[in-house]
Structure 1
């Protein structure tokens, strides 16, 4: 259904966008609070996650995927290298470029972060009824589809 054609059919639907936005923001905030190491910034965690998902990238590619300027990403990469979570190696075909990739420590860190957040979420889901979990399962599919558009 196109947005221009969407008309709320009831009072319950009229506030859906606002309620959904607020619920997603609150859940995201709670999940972010389940961090294993607060010494690393959320920007740095995001860059690590992108490297985990996409594999080795040039600093420019990483900056573009993260939606930041290359000089900002250079600082993020330097910090990740200091933590031992990422490393740079020469680009195989362009001597002016480098390739940034996760180290084993970086991969372990991402795995710990994901495990901590999923453990928290698993506990919250276990408190729900089977019916509520089924509704959330369907909602997750719909939200993922919306986010992909």
Structure 2
């Protein structure tokens, strides 16, 4: 195989594997009624702290009205609160509540447990586990571009 063909094959296989694994992981959550979009917002707030609705929309690559609707749904369920901005009282910041943190943490743990179970079922060798860890480091770099 030439370099371009090899790169194309690698990219295709990585895309397919990532998509399938992500779909399986997304199906595991602490609250079945929570959408992927809602969980993504909670996870962003958990990881990065308060955000304006506009900043959350930019982070999740959706429109501000769409994000506003997501935040409203989360607020109604007690997972986030809106706090007046310290510098401009006309603006608000969205902050995750303790209940929201609990949902994120529980979902993350459930997903980790799923992967641990499935990795165990594969019966990987120590070398294969190291390879998987190295691959995950490279995948994270790709995701952060």
How much does 1:8 deviate? 3.5
How much does 1:87 deviate? 0.3
Q: What 5-or-longer segments of structure 1 have no aligned partner? A: 1-6
Q: Is it true that 1:134 corresponds to 2:130 in the alignment?
A: yes
Q: What residue number does 2:103 align with?
A: 109
Consecutive aligned runs of 4 or more in structure 1 exceeding 4 Å deviation: 9-14
How much does 1:14 deviate? 5.0
What is the aligned-residue RMSD (CA, Å)?
1.8
Q: Which moved more, 1:8-17 or 1:130-139?
A: 8-17
Change (3 A) 1:83 1:8: farther
Residue 55 (structure 1) aligned to one of 36, 49, 55: 49
> CA contact under 8 A between 1:8 and 1:14: conserved in structure 2?
no
> CA contact under 8 A between 1:57 and 1:101: conserved in structure 2?
yes
Q: What residue number does 1:122 align with?
A: 116
Partners of 2:2 and 2:46 in 1: how far apart?
A: 40
1:46-82 deviations in Å (ceiling 9; x for gaps): 1111111110011111111111111111111110011
SS class of match (2:81): strand
Q: What residue number does 1:15 align with?
A: 9
Could you state the TM-score of these two structures normalised by the residue count of structure 1? Answer: 0.88
SS class of match (2:2): coil
1:103-131 deviations in Å (ceiling 9; x for gaps): 00000000001000000011112232222
How many positions carry a matched residue from both structures? 143
How much does 1:12 deviate? 6.1
Could you state the TM-score of these two structures normalised by the residue count of structure 2? Answer: 0.90
SS class of match (1:35): coil
SS class of match (1:88): strand
Q: What 5-or-longer segments of structure 2 have no aligned partner? A: none
